Amino acid sequence: MDTYLLQIFNGISVSSIFMLAALGLAITFGLMKIINMAHGEFIMIGAYAAYMVQNFFSQYLPASFFNFYFFAAIPASFLLAGVLGWILERLVIRHLYGRSLDSLLATWGVSLILQQLARSIFGAPNVDVKSPDWLNGAFLVHPGLQLPYKRLFIMLMVIACMVVIYYLMYRSNYGRKIRAVMQNRAMAASLGINTRRIDAYTFAFGSGLAGIAGCALTLLGSIGPTLGTNYIVDTFMVVVLGGVGSLWGTIAGGFLIGTGNTTLEFLTDATLGKVLVFTLVILFLQWRPKGLFTIHSRSLDE
Amino acid sequence: METVLNVDKLQAYYGESIILKDINLKVQEGHIVCLLGRNGVGKSTFLKSIMGLVRTPSGSILFQNKELINKPTYFRARAGIGYVPQGRDIFPQMTVEENLQLGLEVNNGNGNISPEIYELFPILKEMLTRKGGNLSGGQQQQLAIARALVAHPKLLLLDEPTEGIQPSIIQDIGRVILQLKKEGYTILIVEQYLEFILNIADEYYVMDKGNIVAQGLVSSMDQEDIKSKIAI
């Protein structure tokens, strides 16, 4: 029984990382109809940002500060991934609006370039990020069921991000503009919204979220240049399963894919588990092609 | 009297096909100008080309003596053009209030929705928290006009405000336009419904196959002739 509970707990914590990575993708895909294959590489960039912050703390700051490096790593991951995302949008993505298939190829190329860049800078072998001491250990529910602090911390971090995203998207001026552009680009522009600028900021923000997801991943294992490729397929699956452009759908999709992955892998094995998850998603999409949360509206022109 | 909008030899294209051939049109300050014509002759495209939503390779759009032809859409809105498109284009997933607040974006979201908006459209005040997509067609039309008025545009573009709307709301909208005229608003209306514009518009233009084929003052309009030009 305890093993099952632990599996579910692990599933939820993996889900939370998927949600974070997928939210960035859902926003940019919903907003710009760009299929960003390089999104996974922003996870990788965020992870290496955490690695660099860790090295900086261990080399230049007194040892007593090291325990707090992770609090600097989170914003650093967000900023580095966000700035690189902004540059990518300015250089490549903005030329691809309205060309989904071209965007898929071009961003795939970008993802290969970014992977090679990471290999050149940090070397091909995986590197380890040492977790701060206070994250080692586990919360003891009762003997036989321990919940690792790292995974609890990741869940808290994701919840905090979700709250920030919610306020940003649904309670702020900026979020209102993003939603307006998502729902009707021409009309948003006709109301004086600079849609190109919204696109660039939003793309940077989505990339930054992937960066935070990468930062969280450093707590769970070593990181390497191909970290992103392991996650991009699952992340896309979350977006498609949840329903494109729907934040609630992304959260639900992330939860289902994450727990589905870990549960089915536990019950069968890693390969078969993956196959089962894919099969279930494909079957589900046969039944509801638009995903879990579809947007219904009474629109006169539809 | 100042010319608010002066369109000269404007051409517009959808892809490779030409929609507007050589349009000249002027709107004087404080006037209500109506553009009449059958379906598919280019009336809506004309309004879209003023907003910069279609390709306009040649011609000139002077708005308050400033050239807009190469400016992006958001710039034109910020210059003071309010646009109510044919499909209303309410943001369906947003509340009525959020839709109205978006009208303030021309001032970077600063300012308030003046109470006058709710005096013109009392129905909107009761529906502030409803989703725009759940409103009826007539209510959406009123919301779209209100959203354009929030920022007090110097020129209001209305694209077939009566289309597909029940008669009682058409009357309401007519009253609102007359009220706006009294307040000094400058309005360009695209319409097919001749009776609706007879008692609100000052000038008319008639468009056919991408050209202006008639123009004049509404007061001296030959109604039978115009009817024959816009009837199918």
For residue B101, what is the domain's CATH number?
3.40.50.300
Q: Please state which of the ranges A22-36, A39-53, A73-87, B92-106 shows the lowest mean pLDDT.
A: A22-36
- Is the Cβ pair A193, B151 closer than 8 Å? no
- Is the Cβ pair A192, B78 closer than 8 Å? yes
B186 against B229, higher pLDDT: B186
Work out the pLDDT band at B63, boundaries 50, 70, 90: very high
Work out the pLDDT band at A298, boundaries 50, 70, 90: very low
> Does any domain span residue A238?
no
CA angle B194, B50, B147 (to 5 degrees): 75
> Does any domain span residue A264?
no
Query: Closest to A298 (Cβ–Cβ): which among B72, B89, B133?
Result: B133
* pLDDT tens-digit series, residues B67-104: 999 999 999 999 999 999 998 899 998 999 999 999 99
- Is the Cβ pair A190, B77 closer than 8 Å? yes
Q: What is the pLDDT of residue A301?
A: 35
Strand order in the sheet with B81-84: B81-84, B155-159, B187-191, B32-36, B203-208, B211-217
Structure tokens at A12: 């939820």
Domain extent at residue B48:
3-230
Cα separation, B160 vs B145, whole angstroms: 12
* pLDDT tens-digit series, residues A41-76: 999 999 999 999 999 999 988 888 888 899 999 999
Fill in the amino acid letter for B128: L
> Does any domain span residue A268?
no
**Crossing angle, helix A227-242 and helix A2-32, to 10 degrees?**
80
Distance to chain A for B139, nearest Cα, Å: 12
> Does any domain span residue A108?
yes
**CB neighbours of A123 closer than 8 A, spacing ≥ 6?**
none
Provide mean pLDDT across the span B190-198. Answer: 89
Domain extent at residue A113:
2-232
Distance to chain B for A178, nearest Cα, Å: 11
Number of structural domains, chain A? Answer: 1
Provide mean pLDDT across the span B197-222. Answer: 91
pLDDT of A26 strictly over 50 = yes
Q: What is the pLDDT of residue B40?
A: 87
CA angle B122, B123, B126 (to 5 degrees): 100
Residue B79: name the closest of B91, B65, B89 by CA.
Answer: B65
CA angle B43, B47, B49 (to 5 degrees): 110
pLDDT of A166 strictly over 70 = yes
> Does any domain span residue A175?
yes
Chain B residues whose CB is inside 8 A of the A186 CB are: 53, 73, 89
The 8-class DSSP code of residue B82 comes to: E
Cα dist from A161 to A182, A200, B107, whole Å = 21, 20, 30
CA angle B39, B45, B46 (to 5 degrees): 105
* pLDDT tens-digit series, residues B137-168: 999 999 999 999 999 999 999 999 998 888 88
B54 against A66, higher pLDDT: B54
pLDDT of A1 strictly over 80 = no
Instruction: Indicate the burial class of B194 (C-beta count within 10 angstroms; 0-12, 13-18, 19 or more).
Output: middle
pLDDT of B205 strictly over 70 = yes
Work out the pLDDT band at A99, boundaries 50, 70, 90: confident
* pLDDT tens-digit series, residues A192-201: 999 999 999 9
Q: Tell me, what's the ipTM?
A: 0.92
Number of structural domains, chain B? Answer: 1
Task: Please answer whether residues B104 and B113 qualify as being in contact, where contact means their C-beta atoms are separated by less than 8 angstroms.
Answer: yes
> Does any domain span residue A179?
yes
Query: Closest to B93 (Cβ–Cβ): which among A173, A186, A297?
Result: A297
Query: At A148, which helix (H) or strand (E)?
Result: strand A145-148
Work out the pLDDT band at A137, boundaries 50, 70, 90: confident
pLDDT of A157 strictly over 50 = yes
Strands B203-208 and B32-36 turn out to be parallel
Q: What is the pLDDT of residue B61?
A: 96
Cα separation, A38 vs A23, whole angstroms: 15
**CB neighbours of A140 closer than 8 A, spacing ≥ 6?**
A146
- Is the Cβ pair A190, B85 closer than 8 Å? yes
Strand spans (E) along chain B: 3-14, 17-28, 32-36, 60-63, 66-67, 81-84, 155-159, 187-191, 203-208, 211-217
Q: Please state which of the ranges A32-36, A159-163, B9-13 shows the lowest mean pLDDT.
A: A32-36
> Does any domain span residue A256?
no
